[in-house]
Structure 1
Amino acid sequence: MEDRWLTWAKQLQAIASTGLSFCKDEFDQERYGEIAHIANSMIAQLGTVPIERIEGLVSDFAKGYATPKVDVRGAVIEKDKILLVRERSDGCWTLPGGFADVGRSAAENVVKEIREEAGIAVSARSLYSVRHKAKQPYEPDARDFYKLFFICERTDLTAPSARGETTDVDFFPADRLPRLSRGRVVESDIEAAFAFQRGSLHTTIFD
């Protein structure tokens, strides 16, 4: 669960973004700009990072109504082991996935991400979890996310291979997981995938 102050700062940031996008009065624009600066300063202070970095993270600031970003992740389970990829950025492991691209459905996006990060072709079979990142034990993030997790199945026998943003790929049993990239995935996401695959979880988890 993210810090309450971070939640409030992100909400102020979203209000400022939407306000600047739609308001016409120059004084209101100035006020929303001040709110944005205060919100970004709060987030920078909480994360002990430069304010410029916070401002750079929100690429769609003041470009329409502020909404959460969408992250998709795919769980491929074979012989009681789950496919994970090692991220080049932090050297830790995660379910393959990433930002959802415009023009593709969520399922099409997760298929694309698994192909790009693990080198295999899959189909998305079930949506097993929808998480609000701020309400789960992920690493804190200046952005707001909905995280969609799919059970996927391979559609050919191509061997997995790391590529692009990943440096390694392998299958792991539930009781011997490597160090996870906790901004992307946590243990409960993987546990839920195994439970759904085995039939002990019958409905999609959501926040």
Structure 2
Amino acid sequence: MEKQWLKWAKKLQAIAQTGLEYSKDKFDIERFQEIRKLSIEIMNEYTDIDHEKLNDLFANEVGYQTPKVDVRAAIFRNEEILLVKEKSDNKWALPGGWADIETSIYENVVKESMEEAGAKVKPKRIIAIFDRRKHRTDNYPYSVYNVFVECDYIKGEYIKNIETSDAQFFKIQNLPELSEIRNSKDQIKLCFKAKKEDKFEALFD
């Protein structure tokens, strides 16, 4: 469950961002800048993200604030799922990341699979769309929707890149240490469940 202080900080950030987008009065703009500064200070106090990074993240946000979209590709080859080893924490995750603008969910999944795992895939169906705060206990500064997409594996060969250091297929019984900030063991198990059920219906919060 998301902590109350984080809810307040996110709400202050959203109010400030919307106010900065639509306000014309210089005094109102100044007030909304102060509100945004306060929200950053709150997050900095209770998270491991440094003040400068938080400020850069939110300073680049414009317009009405909406959740970010994270896409994850559940790529299957027979009874195994493809995971990539993240360089940031040396743990394993489904290929994926932030969705790019002017790119569909389908296109993002194809792109991330190739970039991170060297895998050519065909997205098949959506497994789940989760509100991150309902499935995590960490203090995260964004509102995020996680989209899990089942994919058929066509072919591939891992290529060195800046984000991952390896890509391998794993059976459900032999999962490696997972990068929990990206996906949980329960979510990986859900992907396996969806793969086995032809009539599986997508889950959403």
TM-score range, shorter chain: over 0.9
CA drift at 1:81? 1.5
The 1-side partners of 2:192 and 2:118 are apart by 22
Q: 2:202 aligns with which of 197, 201, 204?
A: 204
Q: Aligned partners of 1:176, 1:139: CA distance in 2, in Å?
A: 26
Indicate the larger mover: 80-89 or 168-177. 168-177
Q: Separation in 1 of the partners of 2:64 and 2:49?
A: 26
Task: State whether structure 2 residue 195 is matched by structure 1 residue 188.
Answer: no
Query: RMSD in angstroms over aligned alpha carbons?
Result: 1.7
Structure-to-structure mapping, 1:31-70, within 5 angstroms: 31-58=31-58, 60-61=60-61, 63-70=62-69
Please list every run of 5 or more consecutive structure 2 residues that lacks an aligned counterpart in the other structure. Answer: none
Equivalent position of 1:100 in the other structure: 99
Flag structure 1 segments of 5+ consecutive residues without an equivalent.
none
Counterpart position of 1:176: 174
Question: Which amino acid is the alignment partner of residue 54 of structure 1?
Answer: L
- Superposed displacement of residue 73, structure 1: 0.5
Change (3 A) 1:139 1:182: farther
Q: 1:45 to 1:166 in 2, by over 3 A?
A: same
- Give, in whole Å, the separation in 2 of the partners of 1:187 and 1:201: 22
Shift of residue 59, structure 1, vs aligned partner: 5.3
Cα separation, 2, equivalents of 1:199 and 1:168:
29
| Separation of aligned partners in 2, 1:197 and 1:138 | 27
Distance change (3 Å), C-alpha of 1:138 and 1:167: farther
> What is the CA–CA distance in structure 1 between the aligned matches of 2:140 and 2:13, rounded to whole Å?
13
Q: Which residue number in structure 2 is paired with residue 72 of structure 1?
A: 71
In 2, the alpha carbon distance for the partners of 1:131 and 1:120 equals: 24
TM-score, normalised to structure 2, is 0.93
Q: TM-score, normalised by structure 1?
A: 0.92
Q: Secondary structure at the residue paired with 1:91? A: coil
Provide the secondary structure at the position in 2 that maps to 1:175.
helix
- The CA distance in 1 between the partners of 2:183 and 2:196, in whole Å, is 20
